[in-house]
């Protein structure tokens, strides 16, 4: 591994508590911990330059605006974009809502959009809402739980009316890393708009929006060491300029009259009201932190970890353990979703351990903190034949010893709960 996990942990003050209380945090697909550098950037803003942005011509107003603008530039360049292609939003969910709500008027309301079954609710429900509001048709294509999405999967669902395809670059439940650049290229040849949910990819691997051939792309700050309440919608200038505004209010206008208004230029057109200024500054500091490590190293570290996890799974060979997702670490993120189940009788006890109990017990027994539930991906979960699973997910501060503790916990849980 190219990453010195112990060195990295020293940047995260919460590890003091983790060490004290014996906690192994493995819910990084839900949210990540924050390094001191990020918190310090936010605190320093509060204690030195805090003021509103865009309009203040006095000193601290100009300073705040400069910090905010610099943050946008820094985050943009991190994914190969230009500053004016980045809209600050609350989270990936809001970014996808802007896409789904505003594209129908760009592509026409009788259009069809294709999404996959492995999508997070945030890349499903906004399209359903747009369908209700504007009449566009949403098609959910099937995908296999142990394979990437292929061009053939998409092709089966293409019609003349298909004008939008929206896919996640990495599944938050299967860990599948989809190979999207080739798909993007073909979609563009067909004049189809390509939206990418990058909530699980931008934090974990090098992402270049130009190489991806996407038109819009969404991600969240809190999943990449940054604060919550901040995320980005990347969009090509062409798309952003063609889309109508989403919310109205301060900052996003040029002029307002009694009966109407004109909009500001992009990206401000999509940023109504006072933005999350310290959120942007914190996310920029997170980007700096990740750049110092190098996204290639982040990816290879997590690949090592998932490889090790799959090896341990075979080594332990727990009777009740079933996991999902591709077995090839090359196309698999650091996400391990599983169930503990032996048979199927009427009553719950002895045959399976409910994921909530797995999560609760893993924490109580070995301090291993993992998620349980549908992980906001009900269609995929149901397609796996269940309503809930448990999930462990890794980040830069996790090491192989965390994987060991995790399997140790599963073994103890099986012993306690499976007849």
Partner 1 sequence: MTDDTIYSQILDDHYREPRNFGRMEDPDVQVTETNPTCGDTISLFIKVKDGNLEEISYVASGCLISVASASILSEKATGSSLKEIRTMAKSDVLKNLGLKLGPAREKCALISYDALMKAIDRYNSS
Q: Is 376 annotated in the active site?
A: yes
- State the residues that interact with partner 1 by CB under 8 A: 54-57, 59, 61-63, 65-66, 69, 253-255, 264-265, 268, 346-350, 354-357, 360-361, 364-365, 372-374, 378, 381, 387-388, 412, 415-416
Q: Which helix (H) or strand (E) holds 217?
A: strand 216-220
- Kindly tell me which of 320 and 381 has the beta carbon lying closer to ligand PLP: 381
Alpha-carbon torsion, ordered 148, 30, 33, 232, to 10 deg: 70
Secondary structure class of 366 (helix, strand, coil): helix
Residue 239: CB minimum distance to its own copies, A: 19
Q: What is the Cα–Cα distance from 90 to 48, expressed in whole angstroms?
A: 24
Restricted to residues 215-234, the positions that interact with ligand PLP (CB under 6 A) are: 220
- Kindly tell me which of 219 and 308 has the beta carbon lying closer to its own copies: 219
Structure tokens of 303? 């690949």
Restricted to residues 151-190, the positions that interact with its own copies (CB under 8 A) are: none
Task: Centre a 10 Å sphere on the Cβ of residue 205 and count the other Cβ atoms it contains.
Answer: 19
Q: What is the Cα–Cα distance from 58 to 232, expressed in whole angstroms?
A: 28
- Kindly tell me which of 86 and 353 has the beta carbon lying closer to ligand PLP: 86
Secondary structure E strands in 72-119: 86-89, 112-116
Structure tokens of 279? 């959120």
Residue 131: CB minimum distance to ligand PLP, A: 19
90 binds its own copies (CB under 8 A): yes
Structure tokens of 201? 């990819």
Restricted to residues 14-53, the positions that interact with its own copies (CB under 8 A) are: 14, 16-17, 21, 23, 25, 27, 30-31, 33-34, 39, 42-43, 46-48, 50-52
Residues forming a β-bridge with 197 = 168, 218
211 binds its own copies (CB under 8 A): no
CA gyration radius for the chain?
22
Q: What is the Cα–Cα distance from 359 to 368, expressed in whole angstroms?
A: 8
Q: What is the Cα–Cα distance from 406 to 318, expressed in whole angstroms?
A: 13
Residue 149: CB minimum distance to partner 1, A: 24
Secondary structure class of 157 (helix, strand, coil): coil
Residue 188: CB minimum distance to partner 1, A: 29
264 binds ligand PLP (CB under 6 A): no
Site map 128..147 versus its own copies, x via CB under 8 A: xx--------x-x-------
200 binds ligand PLP (CB under 6 A): yes
DSSP 174: T
Within a 13 Å sphere around the CA of 209, how many CA atoms are in the beta-carbon half?
Answer: 28
- Kindly tell me which of 65 and 172 has the beta carbon lying closer to ligand PLP: 172
Q: Which does 197 bind (CB under 5 to 8 A by kind): ligand PLP, its own copies, partner 1, none?
A: ligand PLP
Residues that bind ligand PLP (CB under 6 A): 29, 91-93, 120, 122-123, 168, 172, 197, 199-200, 220, 250, 273-274, 376
Active site residues: 376
């Amino acid at each position: 591994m190219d990453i010195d996990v112990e060195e990295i942990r020293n940047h995260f003050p919460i590890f003091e508590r983790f060490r004290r209380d014996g906690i192994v945090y493995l819910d990084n697909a839900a949210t990540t911990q924050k390094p001191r550098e990020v918190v310090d950037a936010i605190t320093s803003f509060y204690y030195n330059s805090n003021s509103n942005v865009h309009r203040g011509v006095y000193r601290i107003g100009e300073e705040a605006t400069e910090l905010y603008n610099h943050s946008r530039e820094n985050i943009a360049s991190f994914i190969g974009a230009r500053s004016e292609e980045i809209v600050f939003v609350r989270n990936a969910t809001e970014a996808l809502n802007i896409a789904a709500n505003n594209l129908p008027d760009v592509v026409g309301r009788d259009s069809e959009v294709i999404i996959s079954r492995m999508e997070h609710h945030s890349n499903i429900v906004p399209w359903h809402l747009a369908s209700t509001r504007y009449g566009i048709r949403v098609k959910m294509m099937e995908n296999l739980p142990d394979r990437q999405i292929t061009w053939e999967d998409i092709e089966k669902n293409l019609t003349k009316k298909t004008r939008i395809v929206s896919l996640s670059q990495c599944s938050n439940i299967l860990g599948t890393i989809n190979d999207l650049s080739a798909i993007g290229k073909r979609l563009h040849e067909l004049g189809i708009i390509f939206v990418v949910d990058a909530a699980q990819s931008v934090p974990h691997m090098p992402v270049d929006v130009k190489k991806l051939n996407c038109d819009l792309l969404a991600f969240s700050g809190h999943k990449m060491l940054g604060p919550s309440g901040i995320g980005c919608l990347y969009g090509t200038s062409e798309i952003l300029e063609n889309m109508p505004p989403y919310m109205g209010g301060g900052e996003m206008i040029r002029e307002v009259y009694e009966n109407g208004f004109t909009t500001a230029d992009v990206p401000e057109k999509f940023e109504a009201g006072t933005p999350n200024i310290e959120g942007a500054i914190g996310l920029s500091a997170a980007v700096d932190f990740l750049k110092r490590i190098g996204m290639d190293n982040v990816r290879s570290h997590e690949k090592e970890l998932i490889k090790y996890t799959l090896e341990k799974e075979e080594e332990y060979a727990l009777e009740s353990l079933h996991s999902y997702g591709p077995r090839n670490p090359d196309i698999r993120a650091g996400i391990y979703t599983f169930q503990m189940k032996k048979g199927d009788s009427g009553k719950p006890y002895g045959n399976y351990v409910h994921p909530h109990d797995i999560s609760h017990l893993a924490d109580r027994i070995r301090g291993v903190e993992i998620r349980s539930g549908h992980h906001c991906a009900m269609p995929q979960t149901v397609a796996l034949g269940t309503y809930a699973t448990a999930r462990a997910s890794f980040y830069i501060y996790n090491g192989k010893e965390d994987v060991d503790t995790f399997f140790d916990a599963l073994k103890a849980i099986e012993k306690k709960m499976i007849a």
